[in-house]
Each structure stands twice: as structure tokens, then as C-alpha cells.
Amino acid sequence: MYHMMYQYNPDGPTWGTGKLSWGHSVSGDLVNWAFLDTALEPTSPFDSDGCWSGSTTVLPDGRPVIIYTGRDSNGLQVQNVAFAKNPSDPLFREWEKPSVNPVIRQPADVTGNNFRDPTTAWLGRDGLWRVAVAGEVGGVKSALVYRTADFLNWKRSPAALHASADDGTAFECPDLFPVAVDGAHGLDTSVMVHAAGPDHVIRHVLVLSKMCDEDYYMVGVYDDADDTFVPEEPERGDDVRSWRRLDHGHVFGAKSFFDARKKRRVLWAWVEETDGPAGEVVGKDWSGVMTFPRAVWLDGDGKQLVQWPVEEIETLRTTSDKPVVLEGVGLGSGGRHEIAGIQALQADVEVVFEIPNLEDAEMLDPTWLRDPQKLCKEKGAAQGGVGPFGLVVMASGNMEEHTSVFFRVFKHEDKYKVLMCTDLTRSSKKEGVLKPVYGGFVDVDVAKDRRISLRTLIDHSVIESFGGGGRTCMTARVYPEHVATGNSSHLYVFNNGWSAVKVSKLEAWELRTAAVHVECDA
């Protein structure tokens, strides 16, 4: 059984000071979910102003323990624990908070009341458990490490896991996990040395969210002797905003877990509502969704993560044996081909583009490397050299509303750079809706392969795209009015570049509706 716990206000769709709880849903397949109820509620002085974010750790005897941030009766952020009341209950419906809470009080050197979001605990080689907590120490944004033998008595490590004196907002939602260098299999969070021997190296990934911003990560070496993390790419600096982006679209607060059943690491992130003022969110009675669960592993270059929808998502394909298929279709300049035969509001599209000619690629201004989102916004889906080419999704019949997911190829020094964009500027006629352009570069050798892949999952207002086999990910929220009024959406493959491209192969499936948030009577 898979368990998802999440920030939840039982009295309404907004954050709700003093009411923030942990919702609890379960699933057997990561696709269909049943809502159990709240796992944690603000009931004690140490969490009377809300049960904020945290993580769950499964102990060696199978008993789960939650460590979470509570805002106490004095308005301070403290760290608390809760244990499953009945460990033999497979649904873990009841949780107990020991009276020793808070187990970690806010340190005197933490500034701005920024001390929250403990990670899943991991076990060091000294037999002690550790968690990382986001904290601001003397104005320095930090990830602080605490050690314990019993989850009740904690001691802070002298050094921070990571510290940054950037002038941005505070860190939130840290996540630290090991990855294998020699394959796509996942590793248990507590793995420090690869079980297959010294030739099978592991690295660690540190993920940090910037408040009111995005999620960033870095691959590096974690030393459990002093609880420090050294990035593999020190040239990117200490400022987290120069690190790699987990998703170049609209996600926040990503969290991963090790799936022991399938030996993989699975990651989710939260996708916020962007369709208008808070009043409209309240009127809907709900706010925010999770991304499709993604399997995560280390790319062969040892520097970046690959993310891919878990295989269970494919069980939603309604015509798994007979997808809509295009093969060997050429797209000249201005070419557009409709993918008909499926309901395009819920769809899974995989396409491989061949690029016969790279000579028409535009020159890349080196200053654009620092801001691919700005480059996507300035260039857009208008005509270029090699690209833009990709998909048009959630399109009205007259194309007045549509979202474009596409690539553009640029010359850079003696190589080529691939830019991936998701353009929401015409996604909706509705006023007050956020309609940005997202952008990120895809680390692939397009000169060698002369091709690039794109997978896009469409789920009504959510569009998740995976470029280059999942090396660059982009999530967007769209709210087209033609969908709200019951009209059909259309799906196209297109090329607006001067240079022709070919659809080597495209497969598109309509997706069934999953059972989500079903009340569970068990």
C-alpha cells in the first residue's frame, strides 16, 4: 500500500492558519487513490497553530514515524514527532504524538522564524538517524542536520548540510537521497555505500525549494561523518538559484520516497492553482494538485536527474494496444498535423522528432544561457531556423486558445543547444489567469543523434512535458474557456522552423479518469 500525506485544511481550500492538518490517502498502484481522513490535526500547544510540512520514515521494524513542523502557541516553528498508534494496521489511520514534543525547539540563532520542513530520516554508518531541516541562521539560508537514536532526543550537527548567503527568500522543503551511478534503479534513503561493492558508486541529490519560487537540485557527495554535502558542479556556486531546476514549469515542494517494492525512487511535486484571485479558489472548494508520480534516477553524465512518469500511468491508456500512430511524417515550414481519434483533454503523447538539417540553426547569444525562460518568451513559437517544432495541446477549434510545447535548436560555439519551451500566452481567453512562458535547455547531443523526444501528459488543466527522455521537465496549469463550456480540444504536431523536421514516430493514447479522493470506509 502506498501512502500519501499532504498539507490539508479540512475546513476549506485555502491554507487556513490554525487549521492546517495532514490529509491521508492510500493507493495500491500510485494511480487510484482513496481518502482516509486526516492523519495529523493541530491539537496540542506544540502544533496549535498548524501541522506544517514534514516527512515520514519507516523504521527497520516496519513502524512508521512522522516528523513534522508545528507552529506552537507562541507562533514559533518547532519540530514534532508522531508514531503510528497501531503498527499492524496497514492503513495507519491513527497517530500518537508523545508528550515530549516538541523534540526539536527553534534554535536561538535561527532568524526570521524560518525553521521548518524536516526531511525523511536516514541512517548514518554510526547507527544514528538524521534529518535535515530548512533554517535561516544569522541571515544565511541553511539546511541544518539533526541526529538521534530514538526520534525523541535530537542533537544538531555542527556544520550545515548546505548554506547560502544569497539575498533571496528562505529555503523550504529540503530532500536528500542517494542515487546509483550505474543504473536507473532506486536506492533506500539510508544507503551510504553501494551494496554491490566499491566499484558501484553512489552519489546524493540535495533538493531545495525557494519560498515563492521553484525547486532546485544538485548532485554531489554527502559525508555522513560531518553531515556535509559537496556539489559535483561547484562552478554553479552556493546560490541555489544557480543550481539545476527540478522542473522548469510551475511546481513547488517536491518530495521523493524509495519504493522498495519496485526498487525505484518516486518523486511528486505540488502544482498550485493559477486561475484567478483567491476568491475564485475558495468558490471551487479545493486548491492545488500533485504532479503525476515520477521515477527518478541519475543520468549517465552524473550531473543531472532523469524524471519519467511511473509505469503505472500507462494503465490509464484506454487503447494501449491501438494508440493513434504517426510514422515518417515530414513537417515543412509552417506544417501542422492534427492528431485525431482521441479525446485530447486526457491524453498521453510520445513523439520523436528527426532533425535532418542543423545548418539553419540560429546563433545563440551567450547571455541567453542565463535565462532560458526569457529566451522562450522573446522567441516564442514564431518562425525560427531549426524549430520551433513540437506539440500544440488544449487547442480550441479556431486556435484562439492553445498551448504550445516545443523545441528550438541554436548554434553555440562549435556545438548546438536545444531549448525547450511551454508557451501559455494564448492558453485561455479568461482574464486574471497566469499565462507565462516557461523555458529550459535540454542536455542532449542533438548533433550526434539528430533527433529529440518529447512526452506530454495532458490532464485537463495540467500539462506535464518531458524533453530528451526526461532530462528537462516542464509542468503548466492552463484554464481554456472552450473546455469550461464543453467544447472539444484539439491536439497537433507542428513545425514553424525554416528547416523541415520529421516525425519519426508518434504514439498518442487517450487516458481514462483515475479514481482520486474516493472516500474510504475501510
DSSP-assigned letters across all residues of 209-232: EETTS-EEEEEEEEETTTTEEEES
Give the residue from 311, 336, 361 where a domain finishes.
311
Does the pLDDT of residue 72 top 80, yes or no? Answer: yes
What CATH number should be reported for the domain holding residue 239? 2.115.10.20
Contact 363, 410 (CB under 8 A): yes
Residue type, 92: F
Q: Is residue 518 in some structural domain?
A: no
Residue 126 and residue 62 share a domain: yes
Contact 444, 468 (CB under 8 A): yes
pLDDT digits (tens, 9 = 90+) for 416-467: 999 999 999 999 999 889 999 999 999 999 999 899 999 999 999 999 999 9
Instruction: Give the model's pLDDT for residue 194.
Output: 57
Residue 276 and residue 335 share a domain: no
Residue 477 and residue 423 share a domain: yes
pLDDT digits (tens, 9 = 90+) for 471-517: 999 999 999 999 988 889 999 999 999 999 999 999 999 999 999 87
Q: Is residue 350 in some structural domain?
A: yes
Q: Give residue 318's pLDDT band: very low, low, confident or very high (50, 70, 90).
A: confident
Give me the mean pLDDT over the 349-358 stretch: 97
Instruction: Give the model's pLDDT for residue 484.
Output: 85
Does the pLDDT of residue 93 top 70, yes or no? Answer: yes
Q: Is residue 522 in some structural domain?
A: no
Q: Which residue has the cell 514564431?
A: 382
Q: Give residue 14's pLDDT band: very low, low, confident or very high (50, 70, 90).
A: confident
Residue type, 310: V
Distance separating alpha carbons of residues 355 and 408, to the nearest angstrom: 11
Beta bridge partners of 226: none
Residue 297 and residue 354 share a domain: no
Other beta carbons less than 10 A from residue 110's beta carbon:
19
Does the pLDDT of residue 213 top 80, yes or no? Answer: no
Does the pLDDT of residue 264 top 60, yes or no? Answer: yes
| pLDDT, greater one: 211 or 24 | 24
| pLDDT, greater one: 380 or 348 | 348
Nearest to 205 by CA among 310, 313, 120: 120
Give me the mean pLDDT over the 63-70 stretch: 97
Q: Give residue 321's pLDDT band: very low, low, confident or very high (50, 70, 90).
A: low
Q: Is residue 36 in some structural domain?
A: yes
What CATH number should be reported for the domain holding residue 364? 2.60.120.560
Residue 289 and residue 335 share a domain: no
Does the pLDDT of residue 285 top 80, yes or no? Answer: no
Residue 349 and residue 299 share a domain: no
- Domain tally, the chain: 2
Output the CA angle 341-343-348, nearest 5 degrees.
95
Residue type, 25: S
Give the residue from 288, 311, 334 where a domain finishes.
311
Other beta carbons less than 10 A from residue 158's beta carbon:
9
* Cell reading at 246: 527540478
Q: Give residue 12's pLDDT band: very low, low, confident or very high (50, 70, 90).
A: confident
Instruction: Give the model's pLDDT for residue 201.
Output: 86
Contact 136, 129 (CB under 8 A): no
Q: Is residue 393 in some structural domain?
A: yes
Give me the mean pLDDT over the 156-169 stretch: 86
Residues in CB range of 422: below 8 A, 6 or more apart: 249, 376, 403, 404, 405, 437, 438, 439, 463, 465, 474, 476
Nearest to 286 by CA among 31, 26, 35: 35
Residue 325 and residue 294 share a domain: no
Q: Give residue 211's pLDDT band: very low, low, confident or very high (50, 70, 90).
A: confident
Contact 379, 411 (CB under 8 A): no
Q: Which residue has the cell 519540530?
A: 79
| Of the listed ranges 50-54, 197-201, 273-277, 339-343, the one predicted with least confidence | 197-201
Portion of the chain with pLDDT greater than 70, in percent: 95
Domain that holds residue 219: 2-311
Give the residue from 287, 311, 335 where a domain finishes.
311
Portion of the chain with pLDDT greater than 90, in percent: 80
Q: Give residue 275's pLDDT band: very low, low, confident or very high (50, 70, 90).
A: confident
Instruction: Give the model's pLDDT for residue 517.
Output: 75
Contact 497, 386 (CB under 8 A): yes
Q: Is residue 516 in some structural domain?
A: no
Does the pLDDT of residue 261 top 80, yes or no? Answer: yes
Residue 473 and residue 388 share a domain: yes
Instruction: Give the model's pLDDT for residue 279.
Output: 61
Q: Give residue 17's pLDDT band: very low, low, confident or very high (50, 70, 90).
A: low
Instruction: Give the model's pLDDT for residue 319.
Output: 65
Residue 142 and residue 40 share a domain: yes
Got the DSSP string for 259-277?
A: ETTTTEEEEEEEE---SS-
Residue 276 and residue 206 share a domain: yes
Give me the mean pLDDT over the 156-173 stretch: 87
Instruction: Give the model's pLDDT for residue 212.
Output: 66
The alpha carbon dihedral of 113, 167, 161, 157 has a sign of: negative
Q: Give residue 171's pLDDT band: very low, low, confident or very high (50, 70, 90).
A: confident
Distance separating alpha carbons of residues 519 and 512, to the nearest angstrom: 20
Report strand pairing: 122-123 vs 154-156: unpaired
Q: Is residue 301 in some structural domain?
A: yes
Instruction: Give the model's pLDDT for residue 225.
Output: 94
Residue 325 and residue 241 share a domain: no
Q: Give residue 200's pLDDT band: very low, low, confident or very high (50, 70, 90).
A: low
| Of the listed ranges 153-162, 279-288, 373-382, the one predicted with least confidence | 279-288
Q: Is residue 357 in some structural domain?
A: yes
Residue 25 and residue 131 share a domain: yes
Give me the mean pLDDT over the 374-387 stretch: 93
Does the pLDDT of residue 329 top 80, yes or no? Answer: yes
**Averaged pLDDT of the chain:** 92
Give me the mean pLDDT over the 111-135 stretch: 95
Q: Give residue 521's pLDDT band: very low, low, confident or very high (50, 70, 90).
A: low
